[in-house]
Amino acid sequence: MTRSWMRYAILLAPLPLFLVASYVLPFFVVAKWSVTDPEPGLGQYIRIFTDPTVQVVLIRTLRICVIVTLVSVTLAYAIAYNWVFGPPKRQRLIEYCVLIPFWISVLIRAFGWLILLRNNGIINESLMSVGVIKEPLALVRNELGSIIGMTHFLIPFAVFPLASALRQVDPRVPQAASGLGAGRMRIFWTVTLPMTMPGVLGASIIVFVFALGFFITPAILSGGRSVMVAEFIYLQLFQTVNWGLAAAISVVLLVIVAALGALLHKVARLDKLVG
Amino acid sequence: MNRFQLNYANYSIVVNSVFNLSSRKNRKGGVGLAPQRHRASQLSAIGLGKSFGNFEALRSLDLTIAAGEFLTLLGPSGSGKTTFLMALAGFLKPSRGRLEEDGVDITDRPADKRNFGMVFQGYALFPHLSVTDNVAFPLKVRKVPAAEIKKRVGDMIERVGLSAHAHKRPAQLSGGQQQRVALARALVFEPGVLLLDEPFSALDKNLREGLQAEMKRVHRETGTTFVFVTHDQSEALALSDRIAIFNHGQLMQAAEPRAIYTRPDNRFVAEFLGRINLLPLEGCSAIDGRATGRLGEATLSAPTGAAALAGRQSLLAVRPEHLRIGAAGADDNSVAGVIADKIFNGAEMSLQVALATGQRLLLSVPDNSAAAALAVGAETKVCWPVESGFILHDDRNA
Ligand SMILES: Nc1ncnc2c1ncn2[C@@H]1O[C@H](COP(=O)(O)OP(=O)(O)O)[C@@H](O)[C@H]1O
Ligand SMILES: [Mg+2]
């Protein structure tokens, strides 16, 4: 018993070392670059808040993240609601539809959307052949493409916390509301939704944080036409070789993500209190 | 006026009606009086049944609940009480039969259109709303003007003694306080029927007794029809106008507490409510409303209805409190036995007397009496007035 415990301890010992080596040390190096490259000082941070190029990227990123969060949490709520309260057949169907995408790589999914959405893609071609539109719709190689691809990718991440919040709702509470005279819509808006609000907040934070760091999906689906912050950092590092700016933006991002993480932690605890 | 009195069925005292009439008028003008009597509905279940798959949770049930009545549904766990209540509330669709409210078929009316108040097992309060908002919910749904909501909710919260906690969330309240919020929420819209599913089951004994008295008072004040579920027999006896006893999804008997205790219809009801001695009678015959039969050496009698005996095993039933130790009087039954066990429980002593025929009689005697001093193993005689017993039929193997 004790010996096997020791063995696990020895096996696990490298983990903290590995974490320090791969996350903490690089972080300090990056933080150092942000105040030393190309010259010591806070110049790079000032640039983040003044340089129009950076501003455009940041505002675009914020806009895309907010839209993606709103759309995917809304859709995920509908999916989670049907998953938890729907008839058994629908529950199975949703399980497959939510779980299967998890097994498919980000890259393949992005290319899948490209095939569907591009000018001579399936959607545009069928719409044109039916005669609904004459010109192909610009569904991809722009912000819309990024939003569609990211939303699709992130919905499952929102479905799980929302489903768990919905499962915690005592079914007698909406039932009581119905007995007190409330119709289905009213029960949803005044009882079920408010009771699952911590789950909605949690799901929103998770989706927002993921969206903030998205790289591959927007890079492929916007075709470089609507660069988001992660791709922008990549460009600063490997094309413009402006390491100081890349590092400063990374630090700012990290601070934002950490703040959202702390908020999520609070919300999750709140969730437990309410449930 | 006539319709008014119909609505108040049991409470058709003219003074009351007049009082209500004026209080209603006042409320329309926005200045209601505090104690309000509600419209009370009569409910009828006609051949009502509910199956879950092959399992019959409720067998064809016929029961009429009078307007303004306090009816208790009593039965062991799993006997179908909640199922019946849920069918009344409209949360469960009955598999068979009909439901009527004041003679109108409501079987297919959805729960939110029935206008019944309900207190759930576990209360089912809205956890995200304050006490005030919980109680205001049914009024907001009914689009009552804001000023009137404020007044009625305030009055209701005061009536259940929670004014000091009006802004708290349910999680910040004790069990008894939550129970009061549930009651206030279910009554504030003046429903014709109030359904309560084991509202006290989560509370400790002292609190229960206080709340029982309060429940009784609320019933008296509102005049609403109460349908109250419990598995606690003393609670049922203390509160109800009438008790309906359930077993295996079947209604075994519905009657006033005293009637159901002193003259149960069948063995299940007799044994479920309080303790009872059952003695099988041999060669039983009935003359002049009295059944007489043999138990070993003894000849025993009890009052009985006319055609009751026909070819079934008859049991003489008698409650422990009617038995005594000692010589038989003029119109007494008497059997001989041996003290088999004594249990001291405070004011009284429970004795078990073993009969030669193998049965054990249970009786309770005052702790300071001579009978209580008898030693285990002592020979004795047990007797009881013929009138205090009654005849049951063995429906165990019916
Ligand atoms: N939704 C359901 N599905 C299947 N069986 C149920 C369901 N609800 C209740 N039952 C069964 O019906 C019986 C009666 O239940 P219930 O009315 O809750 O009893 P009580 O309230 O008297 O304890 C129980 O045996 C229970 O298992
Ligand atoms: Mg129950």
CA distances from B210 to B135, B148, B177, B215 (A): 22, 30, 12, 9
Structure confidence at residue A45 (pLDDT): 92
Look up the CATH number of domain B39-262.
Answer: 3.40.50.300
- Summarised one tens digit per residue, pLDDT across range B53-80 is 999 999 999 999 999 999 999 999 999 9
* Single pTM value for the model: 0.80
Collect all residues of chain A within an 8 Å Cβ-Cβ radius of residue B128. Answer: 194-195, 197, 274
Backbone angles phi, psi at B376, to 5 degrees: -60, 130
Structure confidence at residue B211 (pLDDT): 84
Look up the CATH number of domain B275-393.
Answer: 2.40.50.140
Average pLDDT over residues B152-174: 93
Collect all residues of chain B within an 8 Å Cβ-Cβ radius of residue A181. Answer: 112-113, 115, 138, 141-142, 189
Partners of B72 in beta bridges: B228, B243
Structure confidence at residue B9 (pLDDT): 34
- Summarised one tens digit per residue, pLDDT across range B303-329 is 886 545 566 778 899 999 899 888 888
| pLDDT > 70: percent of chain B | 87
Q: What are the residue boundaries of the structural domains of chain B, listed by start? A: 39-262, 275-393
Question: Which of B91, B121, B141 is opposite residue A181, by nearest beta carbon?
Answer: B141
Site to substitute for ligand 1 among B55, B56, B83, most atoms within 8 A of C-beta: B83
Q: Residue A179 Cα, ligand 1 centroid: separation in angstroms? A: 20
Cα–chain-centroid distance for residue A199?
15
Question: Which long-range CB contacts under 8 A does A112-120 form with residues at least 24 apart?
Answer: A113/A140, A113/A145, A113/A148, A113/A149, A113/A152, A113/A221, A114/A140, A114/A145, A114/A220, A114/A221, A117/A145, A117/A148, A117/A221
Nearest CA to ligand 1 atom 24: B78
The ligand 1 atom nearest the CA atom of B57: 12
Average pLDDT over residues B4-11: 34
Collect all residues of chain A within an 8 Å Cβ-Cβ radius of residue B91. Answer: 175, 178-179
- Report the C-alpha gap between A175 and B89 in whole angstroms: 10
For residue B284, give the H/E element and its range.
strand B277-287
pLDDT band at B177 (very low <50, low <70, confident <90, very high): very high
| Domains of chain A (ranges, CATH numbers) | 47-274 (1.10.3720.10)
Collect all residues of chain B within an 8 Å Cβ-Cβ radius of residue A179. Answer: 89-91, 111-112, 114, 116-118
ipTM: 0.80
Question: Which of B112, B137, B186 is opposite residue A183, by nearest beta carbon?
Answer: B112
* Of residues A268, A240, A206, the one with CA closest to residue A37: A240
In the predicted model, residues of chain A with pLDDT beneath 50 are 275
Amino acid B274 reads G
Structure confidence at residue B329 (pLDDT): 83
Residue B343 class from Cβ within 10 Å (0-12 exposed, 13-18 middle, 19+ buried)? Answer: exposed
CB contact under 8 A, A195 and B115: no
Structure confidence at residue A41 (pLDDT): 87
- Summarised one tens digit per residue, pLDDT across range B379-391 is 999 999 999 999 8
Structure confidence at residue A275 (pLDDT): 43
Q: Is the CB of B82 under 6 A from ligand 1?
A: yes
Contacts of B238 (CB under 8 A, 6+ apart): B212
User: With helix as H, strand as E and coil as C, how does chain A read?
Assistant: CHHHHHHHHHHHCHHHHHHHHHHHHHHHHHHHHHHHCCCCCCHHHHHHHHCHHHHHHHHHHHHHHHHHHHHHHHHHHHHHHHHHHCCHHHHHHHHHHHHHHHHCCHHHHHHHHHHHHCCCCHHHHHHHHHCCCCCCCCCCCCHHHHHHHHHHHHHHHHHHHHHHHHHCCCCHHHHHHHHCCCCHHHHHHHHHHHHCHHHHHHHHHHHHHHHHCCCHHHHHHCCCCCCCHHHHHHHHHHCCCCHHHHHHHHHHHHHHHHHHHHHHHHHHHHHHHHC
* Of residues A147, A152, A145, the one with CA closest to residue A124: A145
Structure confidence at residue A1 (pLDDT): 52
Structure confidence at residue B5 (pLDDT): 34
Partners of B195 in beta bridges: B118, B227
Collect all residues of chain A within an 8 Å Cβ-Cβ radius of residue B189. Answer: 180-181
Q: Is the CB of B2 under 6 A from ligand 1?
A: no
pLDDT above 50 (res B397): no
- Summarised one tens digit per residue, pLDDT across range B226-263 is 999 998 888 899 899 999 999 999 999 999 999 999 88
Amino acid A205 reads I
Nearest CA to ligand 1 atom 10: B57
- Summarised one tens digit per residue, pLDDT across range B288-308 is 888 888 898 888 988 886 545
Residue keyed to tokens 């729907």 = A86
Nearest CA to ligand 1 atom 8: B83
Return the residue of A nearest to B136 by Cα.
A180
Backbone angles phi, psi at B244, to 5 degrees: -110, 120
- Summarised one tens digit per residue, pLDDT across range B20-29 is 333 333 333 3
Q: Is the CB of B20 under 6 A from ligand 1?
A: no
Average pLDDT over residues B168-178: 93
Question: Which of B122, B128, B138 is opposite residue A180, by nearest beta carbon?
Answer: B138
Q: Is the dihedral of CA B154, B157, B160, B162 positive or negative?
A: negative
Span of A241-255, B34-48, B328-342 with lowest mean pLDDT:
B34-48
Average pLDDT across chain B, whole number: 85
DSSP single-letter state for residue B192: S
Q: DSSP letters along B200-261, please?
A: TTTS-HHHHHHHHHHHHHHHHHH--EEEEEES-HHHHHHH-SEEEEEETTEEEEEE-HHHHH
